[in-house]
Amino acid sequence: MASAELATVQEHGRAALERLGLPTRRQEAWRLTDLKRLEALARLPLSSAVGSSALPPAAAGVLRLVLDGQSDPLDGVALPDGMSVLSTAELEQVLGHTLDRCGCAGSWPVELNHASARQVLALRVRGVTHPLELVFTGSAGLTATRVLLLVEEKASLDLLQVLQSDVASAHSHVLEVHLGQEAQFRHGLLATADGQPSLMALLAVEQEPRSRYAFTSVVQGWNLARVEPRVVQVDGQATTELKGLAVSQADQQLATHTAVRFDGPEGELDQLQKCLAGGRSHAIFNGAIQVPRDAQRTNAAQLSRNLLLSERARVDTKPELEIVADDVRCAHGATVSQLQEDELFYLQSRGIAAADAAALLLRGACQEVIEHLPAAAEAWGPLERVMTGLSQ
Amino acid sequence: MIRPDAELLLDINDLHASVEDQPILKGVNLQVRAGEIHAVMGRNGSGKSTLSKVLAGHPAYRVTAGSVRYRGSDLFELEPEERARLGVFLGFQYPVEIPGVSNLEFLRVAANARRSKQGLEELDTFDFEDHVQEKLQVVQMDPAFLERSVNEGFSGGEKKRNEILQMALLDPVVAILDETDSGLDIDALRIVAGGVNQLATPENATLLITHYQRLLDEITPDYVHVMAAGRILRTGGRDLALELEKTGYDWVDKELVAQGVA
């Protein structure tokens, strides 16, 4: 969908931003956010340039699309069997539907995206198709990208999103995905930066029964990042797996706000969020799980594990469980610690120097999440990207 | 094998050590020569595990008096990793799980740290895989364990086999095995003990820290030491372990009272 059809959406978005104003600390969801940085982000002019960066060759069989917020990512691309573009009429019908279902329509990050996005990449996926890779490279100013995917009944898709930037810039991204019954969606987000840029990414996923959604996010190096995976199991009976890693250094603030809602019985969630915070950085995790009355026999587990790598780093972690149904299993836990003396000693007692032992443990801590990224991620050297962040 | 003229590998003199300001070791004396197998027995809390951790250099333990010389040099001058590279090996009672770190890679880094100190060529990934396959047989370990994270999800027996595999790869001069027999069924115990027996040579020495006599049915010690209240109370041969099996540790209390310790 190009500029003309999005004009109304943009107008609404701009009006909404005016009305909403900037988020404030009085709003629970923004209580810990560095609002000065948010304000700076909101003031950036819309980018008119296209970010450039040498990209590694895509893995064999992977369809790579480059989203720059300006040009049509499908220009000159032949879509593989099983993947097609939504018509304007179809798009008008479905755009925003998943955001609504996930309860994030009208939120500030969404309106920011509406006000700024010049295009929507909207694809339908049938059957088993090639893995998809969506790449964004930042350029000066604010760039907004928006993607919508309809993964039909019994279809299967692997998606890797790479967001990267090494210039003072901001990126607003909104993704909507609808998973039909028995659909399988493996989704990776590799978002790395060099410390200057900001990122607002909202990823809304709607799951029909017996669908499976496995999401892995790896976030590192943004001045300010807010990554919000929002999942709703519309009739329960689906499987959701969320794995997250945030690695912050210097004075970065990286926030992950996840929300999973079970609008039906027998849903499953397995969630692991890890934060490694060094320097004077601040890592935030907020994990909401909503189990309304109808969501009997839900089985959910959430674990938040955090490593403080310096005395001045800070971690805020908060599970938010709203459980109304009475026949459910919901486990949650959070730990904040430094590298364990016993683990370091074990490695040292095998001849590994203290500094190398610490590096090995950090690699391991990251690898535990990174190994769940879709296979296409290997071409991007995710572990090296994250470890570069740690050795700064 | 006792040879009075064999090299003195470990010379522990009046060793005192504390953890969190609580004195645990109160004057340990022990000499270990090449070719010898020593068993250190004692009840829980007697200080035998502390002795093993102090020798390996665990940072939570503070040496307050006494000395340990390893092949003539001051052991406490060396960082834990340096001790390991020079051939001091500690087999852990509770091996640590390290998620995300592949066992194979860990073993390779560890083996290479030791090899470079021994003047041997470091092994790349491919050569190391061949090398490790050979060592796996020492403990009859399934190669699938190499692909997993270090000790993660291993059963008690698998963890202990992984310890002996590390011992095989690191080719230690002095191996200290801290309750390697705990939590093992009889089959696993035989495999682990068989590994230790295969690795014992006239050039190295083994210190078995154990609570029970049953490990000593599989590995024959040259010396048996009984620890109590942070010291070695009595030293004997293999018979001492058999006597302990019969009489239990009750006599220890009497002896401590007689010595005015308890």
A-chain residues near B83 (CB < 8 A): 349
Mean pLDDT score, A53-70:
90
B-chain residues near A362 (CB < 8 A): none
pLDDT in the model for residue B183: 84
Nearest by CB: B99 against A342, A356, A368: A368
Q: Dihedral sign for Cα B247, B248, B250, B252, please.
A: positive
Q: Is the pLDDT of residue A321 over 50?
A: yes
Q: How many CB atoms lie within 10 A of CB B235?
A: 14
Number of CB pairs, chain A paired with chain B, less than 8 A apart? 81
Residue B241's SS3 state is: helix
Which stretch of A129-138, A313-322, B181-190 has the lowest confidence by average pLDDT? B181-190
When the candidates are 2.30.42.10, 3.40.50.300, 3.90.1070.10, 3.30.499.10, the CATH number that belongs to B8-49+59-258 is 3.40.50.300
Which stretch of A260-264, B78-82, B181-185, B194-198 has the lowest confidence by average pLDDT? B181-185
Q: Does the CB of B114 have a partner CB in chain A at under 8 Å?
A: yes
Percent of chain B having pLDDT more than 90?
A: 81
Q: Does the CB of B40 have a partner CB in chain A at under 8 Å?
A: no
CA distances from A112 to A41, A167, A235, B253 (A): 10, 20, 30, 77
Q: Does the CB of A341 have a partner CB in chain B at under 8 Å?
A: yes
A-chain residues near B117 (CB < 8 A): 351
Q: What confidence category does residue A352 fall into, taking pLDDT thresholds of 50, 70 and 90? A: very high
Determine the distance in angstroms separating the CA of A309 from the nearest CA of chain B, rounded to an integer.
17
Interchain contact, B57 vs A346, CB within 8 Å: no
Q: What is this model's ipTM?
A: 0.95
Residue B195's SS3 state is: helix
Output the six-digit token pair for B59.
Answer: 């940072």
Interchain contact, B149 vs A354, CB within 8 Å: no
Mean pLDDT score, A103-114:
94
Domain definitions of chain B by residue range: 8-49+59-258
- The whole-angstrom separation of Cα B99 and Cα B186 is 29
Q: Which of A253, A237, A47 is nearest to A142 (CA)?
A: A47
Mean pLDDT score, B112-118:
94
Three state DSSP letters for chain A: CCHHHHHHHHHHHHHHHHHHCCCCCCCHHHCCCCHHHHHHHHHCCECCCCCCCCCCCCCCCCEEEECCCCCCCCCCCCCCCCEEECCHHHHHHHCCHHHHHCCCCCCHHHHHHHHHCCCCEEEEECCECCCEEEEEECCCEEEEEEEEEEECCCCEEEEEEEEEECCCEEEEEEEEEEECCCCEEEEEEEEEECCCCEEEEEEEEEECCCCEEEEEEEEECCCEEEEEEEEEECCCCCEEEEEEEEEECCCCEEEEEEEEEECCCCCEEEEEEEEEECCCCEEEEEEEEEECCCCCCCEEEEEEEEEECCCCCEEEEEEEEEECCCCCEEEEEEEEECCCHHHHHHHHCCCCCHHHHHHHHHHHHHHHHHCCCCHHHHHHCHHHHHHHHHHC
Interchain contact, A346 vs B98, CB within 8 Å: yes
- Mean pLDDT value across chain A: 93
Mean pLDDT score, A244-253:
96
Q: Does the CB of A360 have a partner CB in chain B at under 8 Å?
A: yes
Q: Does the CB of B29 have a partner CB in chain A at under 8 Å?
A: no
Q: What confidence category does residue A95 fall into, taking pLDDT thresholds of 50, 70 and 90? A: very high
Q: Is the pLDDT of residue B184 over 60?
A: yes
Percent of chain A having pLDDT more than 90?
A: 85
- The whole-angstrom separation of Cα B31 and Cα A237 is 66
pLDDT in the model for residue A392: 43
pLDDT in the model for residue A142: 94
Q: What confidence category does residue B253 fall into, taking pLDDT thresholds of 50, 70 and 90? A: confident
Q: Residue A174's beta-bridge partner residues?
A: A146, A202
Interchain contact, A364 vs B84, CB within 8 Å: no
For A292-310, what is each residue's pLDDT tens digit? 999 999 999 999 999 999 9
Which stretch of A270-274, A351-355, B114-118, B240-244 has the lowest confidence by average pLDDT? B240-244
Q: Using CB atoms and an 8 Å cut-off, which of residues 240-259 of chain B contact chain A? A: none
